[in-house]
Structure 1
Amino acid sequence: MQIYGKIFSEPILKSINAIIARQPQISRRKLSREVCELMDWKSPNGKLQEMSCRKALLELDRRGLIKLPERKKSYAFEKKKKRKLDVPIASIEGHLSVLGEIVIEPIKSRYSKDSRAWFQLIENFHYLKSAKLCGAQIRYIVKSEKYGYIGALGFSSATYKLRARDAYIGWSEKARRENIQYVISNDRFLIVPTVKVKNLASFLLSKALQRIGTDWESRYGYRPVLVESYVDSSVFKGIGYLASNWLYVGNTSGRRDGIAKKVFLYPLQRNWRKILCQESADGLGHGRLIKDSSNWAEREFGSIRLYDNRLKQRLYAIADDFYNKPQANIPEACGGKARTMGAYRFFQNEKVTMDIILDAHTEATIDRIKEHKVVLAPQDTTILDYSTHPMTKDLGPTSHLDHQSIGLILHDTLAFSEDGTPLGVLDAQVWARDPKDRGKTRRRKELPIEQKESMKWLRSYRRVNEIAKLCPETLIVSIGDREADIYELFHEAQRKDSKAGLLVRVGKRRNRKVAGIDLWDYMSSQEERGQFQIHVPRRGNIRAREAQMSLRYSSIDLEPPKRFSSSDPIKVWAVYIREINPPPDIKSPIEWMLLTTVSVDNFSEAYQRVQWYTRRWGIEIYHRTLKSGCRIKDRQLGSADRLETALAVDMVVAWRIYHMTMLGREIPDSPASVFFKEEEWKALYCYVHKTPIAPEEPMSLREAIRMVGQIGGHLGRKSDGEPGTVTLWRGIQRLDTATEMYIIFTSSRDGP
């Protein structure tokens, strides 16, 4: 979990609890120092962030994740001291010249004479009667050459969130979190009441602002660019600030003490807004994963760029609810009015989008990709029909032929291992067709690709290429079917900065040319390099068969079409397979032409490229899981944007069940605990075997998945094979109920 910008993983929490267990009398200050050292939690100048750490420890204690040692009744510095005014105070009237030289000095030691004088002046003369400043701070004492102490100023860390200030700066929430340290606050400003000198206030403010940047940088290692201050209008008018060219930008809400205060800002640099509004790179590869959480949703979405922890916790809860009850609508899945309303508010929140949710999941997917030498990334398009939702805004026609059906178009890209295990979603493009674009298909040759839906293939490849750059030890291959056979895609893949491979099945209608010869004729004339056999499953009335295939491959220079007449041919490799002597009743024998940018130098590599392409069907299985398992068409939301946000959660949930299905085949002998929580696999065992006693050690993952399939309706006969994704969806839903009952019964058994 993330608190005050730091990740507190389970190992970190265990280490903190271990420190407390070893030293039960440890002070909270010493504990915060040790935790800062443990987490390397330091400010830009290398000092430990003790106060931020102490706040985080209090929050962890409040949540019950750690048990802080008992706090001492009081500390010496907390005792309220009545400071006697023992410094001479003069009564002065006139102009600035009567004061002689005026010195504004920073206080370097809390034990100095100037420090004691500063506290005495503030506590005796400042209207707040409090000299306490929080966080990073610099205090200034003001002295007159002739009359001694005449005033005091104090600067400290800025308010974390302030509506009027934030609106004037115009920074994003991310920028505010990253750059708030460059804003400081003028928290105390005092001129001794007996000193009545015209223009003194504006003079002192100007002199202090001239040096605060340098002094702050010297003490803390970075230079502030903006100063804020608040003026209680019931006491002061803020004339001194206005006279010093401070900017009045609005009022506070007055939530703390019921008094709305004027907010003033003073820029210390000309480019202050540019500095405050700049954001760190937010692309893939910059997220911080939470790998050791027991909650799968937190592991999957832990790096999400939402800066409100409540939104993160809501996302984890929604993902869990959708996973446990995938075929239910939102109220049924969430269970209870509060959780349901929370889910609807989450999907309505403008800060939460499909891209933000899926980017976090993709960060976790990249981590899984790095464990493989080769990863396949098929992309495909599917239609999401929401015709039963006529009140949902911003939907569009899903067919070029008529406009009876409405919905959204989804073009997504998944990552698969060579064995077919889905690793996660890499890209998702969702759009609604404009009803006014009817007839656009007939004009497709007149339009640039940027104005056509074909652009989806290039966007997906660019995303895969971006991810490939983050995984230099892994070959990632983008795969497309015949619809992806567009020259622009090959042109994109041959760029010098392209790290991802490309594999596309070619359609005969594309009329591809090699040395002026039709591609199909050219490859048919090549020498046969070998044969292999594939199993073709039953399809309708056509019986299953073992098909004998011939294989040819060659490197070719793919000639550009007329619209690319100025471009050079592109070097690719063609792999051509064709069924030999098909049965007489087979009207469409198997015949594939594959083009790839990954080199093919022998039969083994050519056959491997064919195997790669067969993994493309994994994305179709995923789409079926998403539609029939998640029942996404039953999501009742008011606009297409909200549907997209809900769809992002459903896509990750659908991947998880598909991942579980294939994981049971890839590593069947692994313990069930690699996927199921302890209470889940124990509840599963008790439910299936009708026993109240669960084993001490988990069963194998394959056994657990078969049990889930069994309670989902899978018969488990030899001819049935392994349970599929839809059957497992039903089983997961029943397992959720069984787990709830198991927890209830075991809790009562262990109770008093």
Structure 2
Amino acid sequence: MGTIFSTLLFFGVFIQKIKDCINRLLEKLNREEDMITYIIGNLFESPAHVLINTVNTGRVMGKGIAKDFKTIYPEMFREYLRWHSQNQTSKKSETNSKILPLTPSKAGDDPYFLLDTVLTVCYTVYMLRVGGRIFSDDVIKRLSETIQKEPCLSRRKLSRLVCEWMDWRNQAGRLQEMSCRKALLELDRRKEINLPKVNKHYAFQKVNKPAEAPPIAEVSCELAELGDVEIIRVTTRFHSKLWRSMLEAHHYLGSGPLCGAQLRYLVSSEHYGWIGGLSYSACARRVESRDEWIGWTEEARKRNHMFVINNSRYLIAPTVRVKCLASHVLAKCQTRLVDDWERVYKYRPVLLETYVERGRFSGSCYRAANWKYVGGTEGRGRKGTGATVKDVYVMPLQKKWQAVLCCCADGKVHVRQRVAQKEPRDWIEAELGGTKLGDARLTSRLLEMTGMFYDKPLANIPQACGSVSATKAAYRFLDNENVDWKAILQAHYEATEERVKENSLVLVAQDTTTLNYSTHPNTQGLGPIGTKSEKVRGLMVHDTMAFTESGTPLGLLNVQCWARDGIGSKHERHKKPIEEKESWKWVESYHAVSQVQKRCRNKSLLVVVADREADIHEVFAEQYNTPDGAQLLIRAERSRNRKVVDDKESCEFLWTKLEQQPVIGTREILIPPSEKRSARQAILMVRTMPVTLCPPMLKKNMPAVRVWAVLAQEVNPPIGIDGLEWMLLTTVAVKHEKDAYERLEWYARRWGIECYHRIIKSGCRVESRQLESARRLCNALAIDMIIAWRIHYLTTLGQETPDVPCTVYFSDSEWKALTTFANKVKEPPDLPPSLNDAVRLLGKLGGHLGRRGDGHPGSEVLWRGMSRLADIEVAYELYTT
């Protein structure tokens, strides 16, 4: 009993010591910016070996025992040894201690920790990384004591002391006072130390009285006529004032500030005097495109970034217009730069970099001087507050530059493998590759955004993009003045037309829908979309989509998007010409389809299918005046009280005339579900006859139009439900009974555009976009409409061509990821499954149960499945490559 009690007491004391240690750490780390949580768990071989995981923003930063800790973290290891020699209380040797470095999840994260657990005693070394240096407890304590003892000590002297304590020197052996002073300010901000107050302020440069720039001649000549072009390094006060005044006067960024180590040069012409200036300074710490091109690992970047220098300023005066001068100066300066830099800083740089602002400069002088373009910046700027996107150019200064830049502490060259960028899907390239936005980079961004939006159709823009940089790039794209939603869709129209040519009969449905943005009242450029009493605001969209005879969507042929100025009065509608009415949308859409019909004259027949809203005489008159245009199939509106003239020239109301005709037969059709009704099979009795539509009373100048009328009325509809009644007016001849049935089937395909609108709103969630202006919304809508078409296309394609290989729609990585995940196997099949099987697996991811009576997966489960497949595909590629 006593043994058990002693054991329990032992573990109680041990756990209490652990808790006290953690509490002391938490008190020191109680800062909002660190967001650190500690988790305790018995993960080692004995209760005495306790693991503390550091968690930053929900992600474990590191755990485990570092076997090569001394090699990877030499500075931290030395700090550990100094601390351990002072605090070792165990009889065990140091080699038996458990050393735990908690590695940051990303470079620059802090704090750094060591955990040493020996028997029942837990020691912790707390280290901060500030300004690229590690500040241990001892350094922080020594700093605080020095400030308390000498409160009048200047910050300059204090920074020199700290540099001497930490041996903080540059390559030339000079103390890095300014870097240290910046680190001290950061420690003061974090409340680790209390810096003495600044008693004096020094103005090293009188910014209120800038020096006047030297006069620069107006020069327009050949390069040889300048005489000898001399590159002069700035070493005197006179040259420094001259350089600064010239840059302040003529460079759009001014003369600075320049960061870190730096050299400045003036450019002088033998015959014309001063003509420009340059500066080279420390490189940017992190630029993804540059770092990836170099092949930098995190350790190599920290160790060798000083060997990259930045051409931070370059000026050829605007009055000097000499061809090839800029590239000539770059090349000439480059020949002396390495020696000058070594003379001043005691090491030789191996790579030059520069950043050229997009939209302002083309970078032609750098390309002419053989600099290499390696990508662009992310637009975050040096301080992460946002800046313009810049093109990145580099110039190696020696052949073995990578061996220098990628050399690590072990003396070996470690080159980071470049991450292969996921290529745009073939269908996206084919659909939008020809988009003309005035800049190839905008087109490339469009392809990338379409791929991201397609992978996650239900996600908002930040979720779909997956990173801060990609999200900012997407917002910049949507706000770019050169991006026009009509230009985006134009490329899709052209791709649709190519698909149209492959079909002998194409049904072109057009319809109007509204997009409600009332939940975003601050969005500019919206208009009313409901009645005056509803006060609902948003956008109007009228789209025209091509379908095969079996219902497969081929794509859009016309889209109109606008915001209403206001709700008009019904008493004024008859006074306006059709061009000023909203009804003009039907005529404009017909014009677009007719243009396609003319180009496909000998290949395809296009029939425009529309509901009762399109029953206006102007549409029929337009078709009458366009003999080589598209044909019409429009459902008539009973309230229009249309009058017709038959072959016997008797004038009667349309409905009265058709109801007098004999029934030619009955037809059973499927009525799709809606909000007010469920799906059902309806039996229709059919009548038909040719008629001539009389123009309305107020439009006698319009021609009478010859059409065929088909009246279909439901027999014995369910109780409480109005029977279905279709009065179809078509310009395609109806000569036989089967022709009438065919027209009914054509009109039934119009339901496809209703499904398409549902995908746009529910599948792509266009009404959830928060983009602050109608123009940005339209740009995003253009992308979403193309994605919605693709989803709709998949839904129908799996039913119509079930036996073709799934590779007609899915990429190799997609179908392999889909089959392995859905079937819970490690290896995909040797041959791709059929399209029908792949679609059913995709539907299964979205919640389709796949039972015998469940039918084919619909668009809703497919867009949910697509969102899951995007993540599954990424995981599959990571684990198989």
TM range (shorter): 0.5 to 0.7
Aligned partner of 1:621 in structure 2 is 755
Matched, 1:487 2:617: yes
TM-aligned CA deviation for residue 255 of structure 1: 7.1
* Superposed counterparts of 1:276-675, under 5 Å: 294-434=425-565, 437-472=566-601, 473-515=603-645, 516-536=651-671, 546-580=681-715, 582-583=716-717, 585-675=719-809
Aligned partner of 1:127 in structure 2 is 226
What amino acid sits opposite 1:698 in the alignment? P
Aligned counterpart for 1:702 among listed residues 836, 846, 865: 836
Whether the 8 Å contact between 2:546 and 2:556 is mirrored in structure 1 is yes
Change (3 A) 1:521 1:308: same
Aligned counterpart for 1:677 among listed residues 805, 811, 828: 811
Aligned partner of 1:263 in structure 2 is none
* Superposed counterparts of 1:232-311, under 5 Å: 233=319, 294-311=425-442
Change (3 A) 1:549 1:644: same
Instruction: Please give the alpha-carbon distance, in whole angstroms, between the structure 2 residues aligned to 1:587 and 1:469.
Output: 43
Instruction: Please give the alpha-carbon distance, in whole angstroms, between the structure 1 residues aligned to 2:760 and 2:675.
Output: 24
Change (3 A) 1:583 1:652: closer
Change (3 A) 1:495 1:745: same
CA deviations 1:63-94 (Å, max 9, x no partner) are xxxxxxxxxxxxxxxxxxxxxxxxxxxxxxxx
Instruction: Please give the alpha-carbon distance, in whole angstroms, between the structure 1 residues aligned to 2:511 and 2:567.
Output: 23
CA deviations 1:29-50 (Å, max 9, x no partner) are xxxxxxxxxxxxxxxxxxxxxx
Instruction: Please give the alpha-carbon distance, in whole angstroms, between the structure 2 residues aligned to 1:314 and 1:254.
Output: 18
What amino acid sits opposite 1:619 in the alignment? I
Whether the 8 Å contact between 2:552 and 2:796 is mirrored in structure 1 is yes
Instruction: Please give the alpha-carbon distance, in whole angstroms, between the structure 1 residues aligned to 2:553 and 2:752.
Output: 8
Instruction: Please give the alpha-carbon distance, in whole angstroms, between the structure 1 residues aligned to 2:788 and 2:363.
Output: 44
Instruction: Please give the alpha-carbon distance, in whole angstroms, between the structure 1 residues aligned to 2:486 and 2:823.
Output: 43
Instruction: Please give the alpha-carbon distance, in whole angstroms, between the structure 1 residues aligned to 2:317 and 2:672.
Output: 79
Whether the 8 Å contact between 1:375 and 1:415 is mirrored in structure 2 is yes
Aligned partner of 1:242 in structure 2 is none
Aligned partner of 1:170 in structure 2 is none
SS in 1 for 2:226: coil
Instruction: Please give the alpha-carbon distance, in whole angstroms, between the structure 2 residues aligned to 1:459 and 1:541.
Output: 32
SS in 2 for 1:381: strand
TM-aligned CA deviation for residue 375 of structure 1: 0.5
Instruction: Please give the alpha-carbon distance, in whole angstroms, between the structure 1 residues aligned to 2:725 and 2:739.
Output: 18
Instruction: Please give the alpha-carbon distance, in whole angstroms, between the structure 2 residues aligned to 1:384 and 1:542.
Output: 23
Instruction: Please give the alpha-carbon distance, in whole angstroms, between the structure 2 residues aligned to 1:537 and 1:310.
Output: 44
Instruction: Please give the alpha-carbon distance, in whole angstroms, between the structure 2 residues aligned to 1:254 and 1:652.
Output: 32
TM-aligned CA deviation for residue 546 of structure 1: 4.2
SS in 1 for 2:606: strand
Whether the 8 Å contact between 2:528 and 2:567 is mirrored in structure 1 is no
CA deviations 1:14-35 (Å, max 9, x no partner) are xxxxxxxxxxxxxxxxxxxxxx
TM-aligned CA deviation for residue 446 of structure 1: 2.4
SS in 2 for 1:522: helix
Aligned partner of 1:689 in structure 2 is 823
CA deviations 1:284-331 (Å, max 9, x no partner) are xxxxxxxx9853211110121123111111001110111111111111
Instruction: Please give the alpha-carbon distance, in whole angstroms, between the structure 2 residues aligned to 1:233 and 1:542.
Output: 76
The number of equivalent residue pairs is 478
Instruction: Please give the alpha-carbon distance, in whole angstroms, between the structure 1 residues aligned to 2:451 and 2:718.
Output: 52
Which structure exhibits the higher relative contact order, with contacts defined as CA atoms closer than 8 Å and separated by 6 or more residues? 1
Structure 1 length as normaliser, TM-score?
0.60
Change (3 A) 1:543 1:499: closer
Aligned partner of 1:249 in structure 2 is none
Instruction: Please give the alpha-carbon distance, in whole angstroms, between the structure 1 residues aligned to 2:227 and 2:626.
Output: 65
TM-aligned CA deviation for residue 670 of structure 1: 0.7
TM-aligned CA deviation for residue 537 of structure 1: 5.9
* Superposed counterparts of 1:29-40, under 5 Å: none
Change (3 A) 1:558 1:129: farther
Kindly name which structure, 1 or 2, has the bigger radius of gyration based on alpha carbons: 2
Instruction: Please give the alpha-carbon distance, in whole angstroms, between the structure 1 residues aligned to 2:321 and 2:503.
Output: 68
Instruction: Please give the alpha-carbon distance, in whole angstroms, between the structure 1 residues aligned to 2:756 and 2:362.
Output: 53
Aligned partner of 1:15 in structure 2 is none
CA deviations 1:691-739 (Å, max 9, x no partner) are 2211121011111110010011111112211111111111001000000
Aligned partner of 1:31 in structure 2 is none
Change (3 A) 1:583 1:674: closer
CA deviations 1:479-528 (Å, max 9, x no partner) are 11011100101001111354201110001101111132000111111232
Change (3 A) 1:723 1:232: closer
* Superposed counterparts of 1:141-152, under 5 Å: none
What amino acid sits opposite 1:655 in the alignment? W
What amino acid sits opposite 2:610 in the alignment? G
Whether the 8 Å contact between 2:621 and 2:703 is mirrored in structure 1 is no
Aligned partner of 2:87 in structure 1 is none
Which ranges in structure 1 are unaligned for 5 or more consecutive residues?
1-120, 131-229, 237-251, 259-291, 748-752
Whether the 8 Å contact between 2:686 and 2:712 is mirrored in structure 1 is yes
Whether the 8 Å contact between 1:629 and 1:726 is mirrored in structure 2 is yes
Whether the 8 Å contact between 2:437 and 2:484 is mirrored in structure 1 is no
Instruction: Please give the alpha-carbon distance, in whole angstroms, between the structure 2 residues aligned to 1:397 and 1:537.
Output: 30
Instruction: Please give the alpha-carbon distance, in whole angstroms, between the structure 2 residues aligned to 1:520 and 1:686.
Output: 59
TM-aligned CA deviation for residue 458 of structure 1: 0.7
CA deviations 1:83-139 (Å, max 9, x no partner) are xxxxxxxxxxxxxxxxxxxxxxxxxxxxxxxxxxxxxx989x643799xxxxxxxxx
CA deviations 1:311-364 (Å, max 9, x no partner) are 111001110111111111111111101111111111111111111011101111
TM-aligned CA deviation for residue 577 of structure 1: 1.2
SS in 1 for 2:729: strand
Instruction: Please give the alpha-carbon distance, in whole angstroms, between the structure 2 residues aligned to 1:616 and 1:488.
Output: 21
What amino acid sits opposite 2:528 in the alignment? P
Whether the 8 Å contact between 1:293 and 1:299 is mirrored in structure 2 is no
TM-aligned CA deviation for residue 444 of structure 1: 1.7
SS in 1 for 2:572: helix
What amino acid sits opposite 1:506 in the alignment? A
Change (3 A) 1:682 1:590: same
* Superposed counterparts of 1:730-749, under 5 Å: 730-747=864-881
Calculate the aligned-residue CA RMSD, in Å.
Answer: 2.8
What amino acid sits opposite 1:637 in the alignment? L
Change (3 A) 1:345 1:235: closer
SS in 1 for 2:483: coil
Q: Which moved more, 1:302-311 or 1:331-340?
A: 302-311
Whether the 8 Å contact between 2:644 and 2:691 is mirrored in structure 1 is yes
Instruction: Please give the alpha-carbon distance, in whole angstroms, between the structure 2 residues aligned to 1:579 and 1:478.
Output: 24
Q: Which moved more, 1:643-652 or 1:444-453?
A: 444-453
SS in 2 for 1:419: coil
Whether the 8 Å contact between 1:303 and 1:363 is mirrored in structure 2 is no
Structure 2 length as normaliser, TM-score?
0.52
